[in-house]
Structure formats: C-alpha cells, structure tokens
Amino acid sequence: MPYELMTIVYLLEDDAVTRHNLEERLVAVEGIKVPVSVGTCTEMLTAVRAGRPDVLLCDLQLPDGNGVEVIRVARDLHPDIEVMVISVFGDEQRVVTALKAGATGYLLKDDPSSEIGAAISQLLQGGSPISPAIARYLIRVFRPTEMPEQTPPPQVDSAVGLTTRELEVLQLAAKGFSYGEIARMLGISGATVSSYTKKIYGKLAVHSRSEAVYEASRLGLIDEVRRDT
C-alpha cells in the first residue's frame, strides 16, 4: 500500500517492553504504519511539530511530563488528528482531563491487545473506543441527577473492606509489578498473591487489574502511583 494511503500512527509509551508490544500489534494491521515510537514527551512534541500523524497513541504519565500536554499540542497543530490514551489508570481526574484536552478514545493497558487495531479503525470512522470500566464511570458521571441510581457503585467500608495485606498487594499491582515480583517483595508465594487478587476483585466487584486500580483509586484506598522505570 502506498505510504500516502496508510494511517500514520505516532506512539508515546515510556515502558520499552510495552511500547515494543504495542508497535508490533499496530504494524501487524494492514494499512497502519508507525514511523514514530518514543518514550518521552520531549521526543513526541518534536515529532508532532515536524510530522503529520493521523493518530496519536499516548500514555499519560511520562518520565519528563504529562501526556495531556502532548495531546493539547498535537490537537493545536493537527486539528483532525485522532488521539487515543492507553493508560493503566482510569481515575476521574485523568479521564476527564484527557478528554477535555482532545482525546477521542481511552483504553486501559490490560484490555486485550488485539483490540488496538480495531480501536484505531473505530477512531478513523468517527467512533470513540472506550474501555468498559471507563464507559461505566462516564455513564455514572453524566447520568441525569433526577434519575434514581438503579445500581449504586460498589462501596468498600470497614465491614467488608480490604485487609492490610490485600491493600499492600493492590498498591504494588497499581505500581505495575507482576504477581511474581509482588510475591518476592512481600515474602509470600505466587499462589497466595493470586488468592489475594481474587479476593480483591470480589470485594471491589471488578474483573481485571486495571478495574481494581481504578475502583480503589476512586474510593481513596490506594495512592495513584506508578512503578519507577
């Protein structure tokens, strides 16, 4: 396919392994080219000022700044650009800030990687791919106030709350550590970490790590921190 007919995607992700995996998934989709794949805001700002991307795939927390600023600059320079955030965090502040800056899609990092290509196609067709956990939050936010809550969001209180150890596991998971790393850091087995994780999911009424981090962050149970790289 001629270069001028391809969808040009710029990728901003600071974790090298994640960036490589995303890039592989993207270039495997017919019609997509990824000429820019970088790990810092500075590099991406230089790239968007020099090039003409069709899509910006952007993490939010970067070593040298916030991806939201990159989104704003990209939107100013290229009004027709489509912007999709890919982040481990889905808390209220980050979601709303990214959408206000010009993001038209928001996926959580533990969504199936096979969805990336489909999400970009959806963007280019005028859609707004949103992770289910984010969509549920947005529905709650924009639901008319006069309508009664049919299913209130899950609450965690002292009676059914997370134990100290479960909170430790969740905090480390939120930082991006693998289950094996969490097990070594806490001096417990991988099976025990898995058991704690299942209990955490059950208490928070979620089904994935990113949903658990989102709910716990929203409820103020954990700090919004990330693993140092």
Based on the structure, what is the number of domains in the chain? 2
Sheet holding 32-38, edge to edge: 32-38, 7-12, 55-58, 82-87, 105-108
- Between 50 and 18, the more confident residue is 50
- Is the model's pLDDT at 192 over the cut of 70? yes
Q: Is residue 225 part of a domain?
A: no
At 9 the pLDDT is 95
Based on the domain organization, do 37 and 137 belong to the same domain? yes
- Is the model's pLDDT at 1 over the cut of 50? yes
Q: CATH number of the domain that 134 lies in?
A: 3.40.50.2300
Whose CA is closest to 130, among 118, 142, 148?
118
pTM, entire model: 0.61
- Is the model's pLDDT at 110 over the cut of 50? yes
- Is the model's pLDDT at 22 over the cut of 70? yes
Based on the domain organization, do 85 and 180 belong to the same domain? no
From residue 226, give the alpha-carbon distance in Å to each of 142, 170, 186, 204. 29, 12, 18, 20
Based on the domain organization, do 95 and 177 belong to the same domain? no
At 229 the pLDDT is 40
Based on the domain organization, do 169 and 136 belong to the same domain? no
Based on the domain organization, do 15 and 113 belong to the same domain? yes
- Between 91 and 9, the more confident residue is 9
Mean pLDDT across the stretch 133-150?
Answer: 60
Mean pLDDT across the stretch 154-176?
Answer: 70
Whose CA is closest to 39, among 19, 14, 16, 59?
14
Mean pLDDT across the stretch 115-144?
Answer: 75
- Is the model's pLDDT at 5 over the cut of 80? no
Based on the domain organization, do 94 and 129 belong to the same domain? yes
Average pLDDT, the chain: 81
Q: Is residue 223 part of a domain?
A: no
The domain in which residue 187 lies consists of: 164-218
Q: CATH number of the domain that 199 lies in?
A: 1.10.10.10
Q: Is residue 228 part of a domain?
A: no
Based on the domain organization, do 130 and 171 belong to the same domain? no
Q: Is residue 157 part of a domain?
A: no
Based on the domain organization, do 183 and 137 belong to the same domain? no
Mean pLDDT across the stretch 80-100?
Answer: 85
Based on the domain organization, do 39 and 108 belong to the same domain? yes
Q: Is residue 211 part of a domain?
A: yes
CA angle 178, 184, 190 (to 5 degrees): 65
